[in-house]
Amino acid sequence: MLRALIVAATLAVATLAACSSPSSATTFRATDITGADYGKGLALSDHNGTPRTLADFRGKVVTLFFGYTQCPDVCPTNLGTMAEAMRQLGPDAARVQVLFVTVDPERDTQQLLAQYVPVFDPHFLGLRGDAAQTAAVAKEFRVFYQKSGDTSGPNYTVDHSTGTYVFDPTGRARLYVKHGETAENIVADLRTLLAGK
């Protein structure tokens, strides 16, 4: 009898503990890549000519997308969605930095990026490097890109990866957002990261 009471009491305590302890897992809309062994850094110049690394934005949530200014669809759609997400964030948008890395440094000069990227939001930054720097950063972030179409002249297109990386305020890669995600879902994830989760 005593043994039965002890077992029952132990089960009751365990059940109460399980019910009262909240889950520590954070649920994101995007793919959680926390702990990834890639995407740890970059060294490029922004569209104002300022050398930049991810450490420059410590304290902010950072989104990082690879594209090019003459992209006919994916890139302007992505930047437009991010601009809408910033609008929905309101004052919290000041705690987020959107970065656009060109995979077409041959045509995307500093001046062209300075004309293109801020059209979507004046706080967005375009980043570029030479061909070798671009290749190194793309490799670090496992980004695919290659010229396509009429590659013998200046009218080529560039096939490239279409997702967006998101870093938390400590500089850790946390999320991979697939192209086509809604601004509302992006905002939900950004708010979670801004809250320190």
Question: What domains sit in the chain, N to C, each tagged with a CATH number?
Answer: 29-194 (3.40.30.10)
Please give the average per-residue pLDDT across 126-147, as a whole number. 97
Q: pLDDT at residue 120 above 50?
A: yes
The whole-number pLDDT of residue 26 equals 76
**Mean pLDDT of the region 117-130:** 98
Q: What percent of the chain has pLDDT over 90?
A: 82
Question: Of 3-12, 59-68, 147-156, which has the strongest mean pLDDT?
Answer: 59-68
Model's pTM, two decimal places?
A: 0.86
Q: Are 113 and 128 in contact (CB under 8 A)?
A: yes
pLDDT band at 16 (very low <50, low <70, confident <90, very high): very low
DSSP the chain: -HHHHHHHHHHHHHHHHHHHSPP-PPP-SSEE-TT-SS-----EEETTS-EE-GGGGTTSEEEEEEE-TT-SSHHHHHHHHHHHHHHHHGGGGGGEEEEEEES-TTT--HHHHHHHHHHH-TT-EEEE--HHHHHHHHHHTT--EEEESSTTSTT-EEEE---EEEE-TTS-EEEEEPTT--HHHHHHHHHHHHTT-
Residue 185: per-residue pLDDT? 97
Whether residue 117 is predicted with pLDDT greater than 70 in this model: the reply is yes
Q: How far apart are CA 175 and CA 186, in angstroms?
A: 10
Distance CA 174, CA 65 (A): 14
Mean pLDDT of the chain: 89
pLDDT at 166: 98
